Amino acid sequence: MKKEERYKGVLDWFEANVPVAETELHYDDPYQLLIAVILSAQCTDKRVNMITPALFRDFPTAEVLAASTPEVVFEYIRSVSYPNNKSKHLVGMAKMLMADFGGTVPSDIDELQKLPGVGRKTANVIASVVYNKPAMAVDTHVFRVANRIGLTNNSKTPLETEKELVKNIPEKQIPIAHHWLILHGRYVCVARKPKCEECGLKPWCKYFLKAKI
């Protein structure tokens, strides 16, 4: 099967069967999403959603968060992974938002990556989800699913995967394709034992077709 056929089959299936795909993080504005995505690194969205209501209530703006301290923020986020680092990142991020960006979350991926706690994946999520830019955030799910299906060819790094996906997915579909792949990896194409029997992507999946031989 040619790569073009595989991409078309996979994207058409998602388009028809998963018309709505969006982040499972709860947020009301770009500032809240930025906090949630920083907290979600190596942590489940479910856990993040449990702690953000109190955090958003008591730190409703970047200005309020910037005036706080990592020690205070730590008490709100202690149940997530790496709370020490993340509390420092959140306060540092808020300070930089106020000092350099007038309290507004930037849309540019390079600008976003200047913020403490924001790597390329987080920057791509914000650019894609908030600003609908053709940015492909590659987390462990996207990395695994893309390789397993055969959308990428043994990519060694998230950046390799990102470049390959962006090259082959139509620009207008990139923002939603990011969610298609994440949700597929989270619920169907799971790490240890993919649920191939209930997967609609079987006709185009390299992993499944190889296993069938």
Residue 189 among known ligand-binding residues = yes
Reported as a single tens digit per residue, the pLDDT across 23-59 is: 999 999 999 999 999 999 888 999 999 999 999 999 9
The pLDDT of residue 211 = 78
Segment 93-125, tens digit of pLDDT:
999 999 999 999 999 999 999 999 999 999 999
Tell me, yes or no, if 121 is annotated catalytic.
yes
pLDDT of amino acid 85: 96
**Geometric angle at alpha carbon 163, from 157 and 169, rounded to 5°:** 130
Mean pLDDT, rounded, of the chain: 94
Q: Which of 3, 12, 139, 212 is catalytic?
A: 139
Q: The tokens of 31 are what? A: 């500032």
pTM across the whole model: 0.88
78 with 99: CB under 8 angstroms? no
Q: According to the 3-state scheme, what is the secondary structure of the chain?
A: CCHHHHHHHHHHHHHHHCCCCCCCCCCCCHHHHHHHHHHCCCCCHHHHHHHHHHHHHHCCCHHHHHCCCHHHHHHHHCCCCCHHHHHHHHHHHHHHHHHHHCCCCCCCHHHHCCCCCCCHHHHHHHHHHCCCCCCCCCCHHHHHHHHHHCCCCCCCCHHHHHHHHHHHCCHHHHHHHHHHHHHHHHHCCCCCCCCHHHCCCHHHCHHHHHHHC
199 is annotated as contributing to ligand binding? yes
Confidence band, pLDDT 50/70/90 cuts, at residue 213: low
Q: What pLDDT was estimated at residue 1?
A: 87
pLDDT value of residue 14:
97
Active-site annotation holds for 8: no
Ligand-binding annotation for 43, yes or no, is no
| Residue of 121, 195, 210, 212 marked active site | 121
